[in-house]
Chain A
Amino acid sequence: MMSRGNADQDPVFRESMRENEVRSDAALARVTLVLTLFEIAWIWFLSKEDIAGFNPDYPMLAAGILLNLVIVILHPLMKGRGIRGYRYPAIALSMVQAFIVGAYLSYNMIPIAALPTLMATLYNDRRLIALTAPVGIVVMLAALWTYNSHSSLIIGVWWGMTKWDIMVILLKRFFSYQVAVYAFIIIVAVYATQKGLGDIRDSVELKTRSAMVDRELELASSIQAGMLPSELPRIPEVGIAADMKPAREVGGDFYDCFTREDGRIVVVMADVSGKGVPAALFMMASASVLHSLLDSGDSLEDAVAKANNDVFRSNRMKYFVTLWAGIIDPEEGSLEYVNAGHNPPFIVSGGSAYRLAQKPDFIFGRRRDIAYHRHRTMLGQGDRLFLYTDGVTEARSSDGGFFGEDRLVGVLERTAGETPDRVLSEIHGALERFSEGTDQSDDITMMAVDFLGDGKRTLRVPADRNGYADLMAYVDQRTSLGGCDPAKTSELKTICSEVFANIDMHGYEGMERGTVEFSLDLSDDGAVLTFSDDGVEFDPLGWADAEPSADPRDHRNGGLGLFVVRRLSNGLSYERRDGRNILTITKEL
């Protein structure tokens, strides 16, 4: 902590004193104006009453009122010209005015000489108090002297007393208690000044501290910004734009995007529960652990699971992260991803947006040993992956409504032909218009990744239930983006389901499970589906009955699925090549 001596030299202290001076100048001018109006009213009232012995010196009182008005007018004049030190002429003139009132109105008014000192307390200026307090005594004495030269003196002299004798009587009988009152006022004024100074020092300390906190927050914000990728991967196959707009200095959102050694691109979008510094610290830990593990040779789901355990170990405050992490292979356009409780991203293709809504796994960082599932899908040339945090969809309008997914989809579909940068700025624009007049309540983070390569669009999935789920989701995605008729989509899915079930259940009996390669080409003419698996040789064409049996129970042991496939499709061909079963199915749409 700073010592007081230093504190008074502190620029923040001087700034506070200066602010106080500006306010006090205005207060002084206003108080003087009120006093003047009061004085005018009072003198007018007294002059109408016939009070014995009340015989004020009106010209002198008028001069006093004029002096007061000078004080009032001086304030805007000096302020307008940027001249400081208003207090000095104002208080000096108020001293003269106090003298006039005491000397020419009534000697009962003499303690009015304490008013300038009271006014000086406004400034917390001890030197000014030290100057005005004794001057006030002098003014009081001078007023007493002058007053008596007007009336009391006349009577006294008539009685044969000297002016000094009369002064002594007045001093004893009237002035002594007036001085006592005066002294009390001065004591209060000194206390008020001391207290005012203390208050200013406290506020200076608060300001200094808050400035320090601000500086540290600024630093924290820049360190946090440094955690975000300074440069996004630049390869011909992808176009990426990303940004984060924190609601406060530091945020709980983060994203990451970098190229792995194997040439694949990692994208991460995440949102830490909570806000402000604690969330930011948790974000730093999570982001850095995730980055290094995702950059290792581990599979996506293992990297996320390991990072989850790491972060969980140090998670004392029970924060959590919703996280979406994906790896894009720019050669083939495949996208693997893990979703730990995050809002599913969109794939924008051919002007429509599709939610990549595989069932998410448990949130990140909150429990040990979570099994995260890797999903797979394919990106076609020109497809866009759009990732975001809920700060986008939960942005509020002034009447309390949410921006919502529908509006987001609207912007995404409208901007399908634009560059990724443009998409983000369009969404920011839409959000600003929507939330006009409200404070941003949550961090807003987005990333758009365009796949520009001519990927083979071959989905490779393991020949098991997980692979099945991915394949079905992919068919959903493609048909939905391709605007397929719902009935035809259902038939396509039935075909895929039957073929994959066959491969899974019969293709790998007694051997290690391999991969199924799947492609789906949709055109105006129809769909071409290709399934390729490395299981046992199996020609389904030899199996499928041309007609179903009249009693479906005959199909109990198989054949029903292949029969359905045959009925739902327009052409089937099979070949065994390079140790793989390759089944090609065509279907008119």
Chain B
Amino acid sequence: MQIETRKEGDTTTIIPQGDIDYATAPELDVVVEREAASSEMLVIDMSKVDYISSAGLRSILNADELMENKKGIRLTNVNPNVKSIFDMTNFTGMLNIE
């Protein structure tokens, strides 16, 4: 999986490309952990993510926890397929989703 990152001040935008599933989620975890250490805020741009499985949801939970004592995480450009999974699993209320 290709994961792009962009830094602006203390905010880092992570742009994963493709599907986030159990095969690719560990790659996302690595990037999230690396960027969380040096950022106050994580933005995960979901515009290039077609669908997300529970493994991907866990990665996002993981990111949320890592940023708990900072400015937190934000999910942007979530497509309807991914949004419906977020809705179904009560992620929508929990997370900062745009």
Give chain A's interface residues, CB within 8 Å of chain B.
465, 468-469, 472, 486-487, 490-491, 493-494, 497-498, 500-501, 504-505, 548-553, 555-556, 560-561, 563-564, 567-568
**Chain B at the A interface: mostly helix, strand, loop or mixed?**
helix
Residues of A within 8 A of B23 (CB): 465, 468-469, 501
Measured CB to CB, the nearest residue on chain B to A549 is: B90
Of B5-13, B39-47, B54-62, the one contacting chain A is B54-62
Cα distance A375–B5 when bound, in Å? 31
Contact of A493 with B55 at beta-carbon distance under 8 Å, contacts A501-B22, A553-B61, A564-B88 already known: no
Nearest-CB distance from B39 to chain A (Å)?
A: 22
B53–A491 CB distance below 8 A: no
Closest Cβ neighbor of B57 among chain A residues: A560
Contact present for A497 and B81 (CB under 8 Å): no
CB-based contact B94/A563 at 8 Å: no
Q: Which of B55, B81, B90 contacts A561 (CB 8 A)?
A: B55
Please give, as numbers and ranges, the residues of chain B lying within 8 Å of A491 by CB-CB distance: 81, 84
| Contact of B97 with A by CB under 8 A | no
A-B CB contact pairs (8 Å), 9 listed: A468-B22, A472-B19, A487-B84, A490-B81, A493-B51, A494-B51, A501-B55, A552-B57, A564-B89
| A501-B22, A552-B91 known; A561-B61 Cβ under 8 A | no
Contact B54 A560, beta carbon cutoff 8 Å: yes
Residue in contact with B90 in the complex, picked from A465, A501, A550, CB distance below 8 Å: A550
Q: For residue A486, which residues in chain B have a CB less than 8 angstroms away from its CB?
A: 81
| Inter-chain contact A505/B22, CB cutoff 8 Å | yes
CA distance A568 to B88 in the complex (A): 9
Checking B21, B85, B94 against A551 with a beta-carbon cut-off of 8 angstroms, the contacting residue is B94
The 9 A-B residue pairs with the shortest CB-CB distance, nearest first, are A501-B22, A561-B54, A490-B81, A560-B54, A497-B53, A497-B21, A490-B51, A567-B88, A465-B23
Q: How far is B79's CA from A491's CA once the two chains are assembled, in angstroms? A: 13
B50 at the binding interface (Cβ < 8 Å) = yes
The reply to whether B19 and A497 form a contact with Cβ atoms under 8 Å apart is: yes
Inter-chain contacts of A472 with B (CB < 8 A):
19, 21
Residue on B with the closest CB to A466? B23
Which chain B residues border A550 with CB–CB below 8 Å? 90
Nearest CB of B to A297, in Å: 31
Q: How far is the CB of B66 from chain A (nearest CB, A)?
A: 13
**A567 to B91 CA separation, bound complex (whole angstroms):** 15
Given A487-B81, A490-B81, A501-B55, A552 contacting B90 (CB threshold 8 A): yes
- Kindly list chain A residues whose C-beta atoms are within 8 Å of the C-beta of B52: 494
Docked CA distance A556–B22 (Å): 14
Whether A498 touches B53, Cβ cut-off 8 Å, given contacts A563-B89, A564-B89, is yes
The chain A residue sitting closest to B64, CB to CB, is: A553
Q: CB within 8 A of B50: which of A490, A552, A553, A568?
A: A490
Query: How far is it, in angstroms, between the C-alpha of A506 and the C-alpha of B12 when the chains are bound?
Result: 34
Do the beta carbons of A548 and B21 come within 8 Å of each other?
no
The answer, among B22, B58, B61, B80, for a CB contact under 8 Å with A497, is B22
Chain A residue with Cβ nearest B56: A497
- What is the CB-to-nearest-CB distance from A535 to chain B, in angstroms, rounded to a whole number? 15
Q: Which residues of the partner chain A approach B91 to less than 8 Å between Cβ atoms?
A: 552
Given contacts A549-B90, A551-B90, A560-B54, 20 further A-B contacts (CB under 8 A): A487-B81, A487-B84, A490-B50, A491-B81, A497-B22, A497-B51, A498-B53, A501-B23, A501-B53, A504-B22, A548-B88, A548-B89, A548-B90, A550-B90, A552-B94, A553-B61, A555-B54, A555-B89, A556-B61, A560-B89
